[in-house]
Chains A and B, each alone.
Chain A
Amino acid sequence: MRLSRRTPFLLPLAAFLAAFPAFAAPLTLTPVPDAYQGSAPSALLPPPQEARLSEAFLPLEGLAARAEGPQPELQWALRDLSREVQARFGRGLLTEGARWVRVGTLENLELAQAARERGLTPDKPEGYALWVEEGGAAVVGFDALGAYRGAQTLRQLLTPQGFRHAQVRDWPAFGWRMAMIYLDKDSRAINDVLVPLLAKLKYSHVLVMSDYVQWNSSRAVWHPSGAPRAEAERVARLIREHGMEPIPLLELLSHAQWLFYNPQTGRYDGNKDLWADPEAPNPYAYDPLVPRVYEVVLPILSEAVEVFKPRYVHVGHDELTAQNRFPAKPEAQAVGLPKLFVDDTLRLYNHLKGLGVGTMIWHDVAFADAYRDQIAPALPKDVVVTYWNYSAAADYPPLAAIRGLGFGVLGSSWYNPGNPESMAQAALRHGASGVLQTRWSGYFGNATMYDGQAEQAVAYFNAAGAFWNPQAPAAPDDLAARYRHAWRVPPFTPIAGQLVDLGPAVTRRLADPDETQWIQKGPSTDLSALPTGVVRLGPYRFHVSGAVMLKGARAAAADLPQSVTLELGGVKARALAFLHTTGWIGSQRYERVGSYTLTYADGSRATLALEYGRHLTSWLEPQVRTVIYEPVWRGKTADGLDAGLNALVWNNPKPELPIQSLTLESSGAAANPTLVGLTLLERSPNGAEAPR
């Protein structure tokens, strides 16, 4: 270890050596041809109803693909397959070859016969048969959408050796498998990833939060962060061309702040005559007794129908009393909440019905214990109710109660562990029409699906599995990695590199038998479950010898060095992969907790600031909120706590220069940087640096 500027100079020699073991010689580097190697996902998701997989493979050499029918869904299937191969191998599928991937439906008699011979004939809407054999592969849909869904399974059978041999017969448990997305200023960058991902996960419908769309009929409330109408049209088309149906969500009656935005002031002080509570500091609901409400709202509904061409529009109507008073004005109080709710819902329902479109609402006001007796009987029975409960539960009896009152109902979940799974099981049990995976990431929060709230998008995976096949075993534990791979598809071609043995620099061992190592909480709370030596974690290989843990605010980290410099001996690399964490949880997201600084042979430097939650996180916070780092190991402590480590790839800003050393520095916060593995890569698996 080299002295850093922050190292105290007057330490007694023994203490100094104990705290700062010297290792000026370069660390040992081990060259390997496959320091990075992408692989196929661990299991098919959603899990098929019936599947047999083998360890044989259909190589890509000489393999071509064709659609066996005119339906657009078949072309979409070929498009998605080709993109998968392109991303993994850098080339697309052939259009002519010795062996074929055939995609069609039962309308193709030859394919129907082949499916029958294999005992795989699909017999339900969206169902499909799939087989991969030595002579080729086929996807045969019960209908065209079934063929499209089957192609998404075939994509997941792609491995570095080719398509894995398989026989699959599959169908969905629910016809409605809906996921929620948002339209805002970042819609294109985010939804161009999310919509194809939702298709890959076999969702059937997409609920599109559309409050702040800049409709032609809503110019008076245009918000600068809202999506242009053209973007709404584009996303609606994108959804349809990925085999799904769009359902716009326009929050009306309650959560209606968007109707009160004033572009002139930049505040929510517009349309004051529509406010339900004129004295409220922040408007929230509109007053259904004001006739002009419908002069504003109904044209927007008409325009949303024109843009999305949906079968339903979701009009919100939830959490009516969550903010401000409702009813607030004396005349509204005289009418009462139940009648105001019913009258408004009917007004919107009748307008939509006139356009040939159905109405959806949330359940929590209409079916609240306080109002159910007055509201529910007054609503038309073809209003579809989305029941929400965001806790995992053994059962959700209101699903049965709402259905018992004669309404179609969808069960809605969020990202809490187990919530989508238990909701899907209850929905199946109670005969619900389907399920909805919600996302509540802020009206202008699309960018947080990349960095900030990615855990909500990871839940699309759990939900997809549960919605398609609620009886299947628990989802695999690599969902966060899979979500990241939607943004950065891991190539199947290996990347060579050098594994750095951090052994001489280790300041804490991973195992802590006597409360002197790791975070000094003893063997029940250490990292001994992490495999050591030369190991593959996710797509990366690391040489794990212990931890270079730095100083932090906690007493157990007070005697650790503030900085450590690792001599790398003038090696060149295109990228550096860090297997790292912090000993303790950070108190503030994006707090700068330290840095990595490369010193090149010519004396120049490059520094990467480490921000908590963005570049690294505590080993006891395995939930992933960003795709900037990659979850590569998940395990448990001896007493059963979930633990995890992540890898961060830093593209070397000066790959042409030899790297002399890497300096790790801590800011001294509670979350103290801790390096567990370091691998130098000859090529970056990340492409360009992550956007912010």
Chain B
Amino acid sequence: MLKRFLTIGTLLTLGLSSAQQLEFVTTSLAPTFNDFFEPLVARFERANAGVKLKWTDLPQNAIQQKILAGIAAGNPPDAVQLNSSQILELAQQGALLPLNDLLDAATLRNYQKTALDAFTYEGKVYGLPDYASTRIVAFNGDILRKAGLDPNNPPKTIPGIIEWARTIKDKTGVYGFAPLIANVDFLKAFQEAGLPIFDAARKKAVFNSPAHVALLQQYVELRKKDYFPEDVMRRGFTAAYELYTAGKLGIIIIGPQFMPRLEKDNNAVWKATVVAPHPIGPGQVVQASTFAYAVPKGVRDPKRSAQLAAWLTNDDNQLAFSKRTGTTFPTTVKAANDPFFRSGGSSVNDLARLAAAKTMRYGRDLTVPVPNAAALNKAFKDNIEAAIFGQKSAKAALDEIVKFWNANL
């Protein structure tokens, strides 16, 4: 009863009058989560008589265009769910409203600081975190056994995983692993390995030290000897998942939310899968993809839109959503401490969630916010690819990126 009272109280602060419509957009959650969002919309409309709440779901690659087109046409959606890269890029383009001025400090304090930081650029908050998902390691037990490896004793370090990947390829002929290093993901690899991106003053990029070069060179050598498929440089996780699902990849770095999908896509592979927490390297961090709701520039009533974003991401809704997915985590302080996330059964899906929960305290969205992100990220991607595909040395590639970044920071 108290919970219901609080929920309605929060809704009432939206101060909506009748005959209004609000719209929020999510990223690739339909149709899987229709059973969560449709009741959510109904709950909102019941509490705000006469107000229609429209839910739109779009593929990740279409959502930025939708926002920009909406701004240009004068009718952007009120709240849009995006990842941190997208939010930072749109914020730099002036397409999003800073939320600090639209919400009180107490509301912002509801969120975990590390999650909120991923959407903060130059001191302004551009997104209210909704849910986070950290990575785990999944192993195809059948392939491991063929390679003479013990699925019950998986490696606890990234170098250990690489060593297993080599063994799998050498002994079975199938790829051992598919590292997630496409686009700008190597920036995350640096951070997980404890290697800095910037100097202490955050004025200069420094990721061309001998240690950085050595890390990149390791992957250059792996690619050169065909220890991972070239397709992952082109299609990233999609290629990795496709191979794993087909039973042609020994190890995959994966979000636990993909386990229920794997169960449907290839039940035999799912049954053969064993999971483990993602290794925590010297950086004491692990990538946690975080989505947040942002408010586009040009909404009719910015405060009301910000309040909608806050409602969508409040304790109750975040907790309910993560319980529904079973594999993601809330980002509000209160909901994240719910005992649900430390308990579960023995299915692969439950074990995947528990494996992720074990490293969630190390979870950070490791996206690197920089000015002119589009240009800087392209320089990073092009040079890393040139190194991986043998067009230039690892050192030359990193030197080139650092020079370009430092000229433009």
Contact = CB atoms under 8 A, between A and B. Distances in A.
Interface of A: 279-282, 321-324, 364, 368-371, 389-395, 397-398, 416-418, 422, 521, 525, 584-588, 591, 618, 620-621, 637, 639-641, 670
Given A395-B390, A620-B407, A670 B231 contact: no
B248 A416 contact: no
> Which of A324, A369, A371 has the most chain B CB within a 10 Å cutoff?
A369
B175 interface: yes
Contacts of B235: 322, 364
Interface string B10-35: 00000000000000000000110000
A272 to B, nearest CB: 14
Given A321-B238, A368-B231, A391-B389, 18 more contacts: A279-B31, A281-B58, A368-B239, A370-B245, A370-B246, A370-B248, A371-B246, A389-B234, A418-B386, A584-B372, A585-B372, A585-B408, A587-B94, A588-B93, A618-B408, A620-B408, A621-B375, A641-B403
* Contact residues of A: prevailing secondary structure: loop
Contacts of B62: 282
B93 A393 contact: no
Contacts of B403: 639-641
Contacts of B371: 587, 670
A584 B404 CA distance: 12
B250 to A, nearest CB: 13
A585 B375 contact: yes
B408 A584 contact: yes
A416 B233 CA distance: 14
Contacts of A397: 226, 230
Contacts, number: 98
B304 to A, nearest CB: 25
Contacts of B406: 521, 525
Contacts of A618: 408
Report the 8 A-B pairs with minimum CB-CB distance, sorted nearest first.
A394-B390, A393-B389, A370-B246, A279-B31, A391-B385, A588-B93, A585-B372, A587-B92
Nearest to B224: A394
Contact of B229 (A369, A525, A586, A588): A369
B366 to A, nearest CB: 22
13 contacts: A281-B31, A282-B58, A370-B245, A389-B230, A391-B233, A391-B234, A392-B389, A397-B226, A397-B230, A584-B408, A585-B372, A588-B94, A620-B407
A279 B226 CA distance: 38
Nearest to A324: B59
Contacts of A394: 389-391
> Which of A280, A321, A395 has the most chain B CB within a 10 Å cutoff?
A321
Nearest to B242: A370
Nearest to B372: A585
Contact of A393 (B231, B382, B390): B390
A322 B238 CA distance: 7
Contacts of B407: 521, 525, 620, 637, 641
A282 B246 contact: no
A281 B30 contact: yes
B72 to A, nearest CB: 11
A150 B339 CA distance: 77
A392 B385 contact: yes
B243 interface: yes
Contacts of A640: 400, 403
B350 interface: no
A670 B376 CA distance: 15
A369 B57 contact: no
A371 B246 CA distance: 8
Interface in B12-68: 30-31, 56-59, 61-62
A323 B404 contact: no
A509 B47 CA distance: 64
Contacts of B375: 585, 621
Contact of B93 (A323, A391, A584, A587): A587
Contacts of B57: 281
Contacts of B239: 368
A642 B135 CA distance: 38
B78 to A, nearest CB: 19
A282 B375 CA distance: 30
A641 B407 CA distance: 9
A321 B404 CA distance: 35
Given A392-B391, A620-B404, A641-B403, A370 B372 contact: no
B386 A392 contact: yes
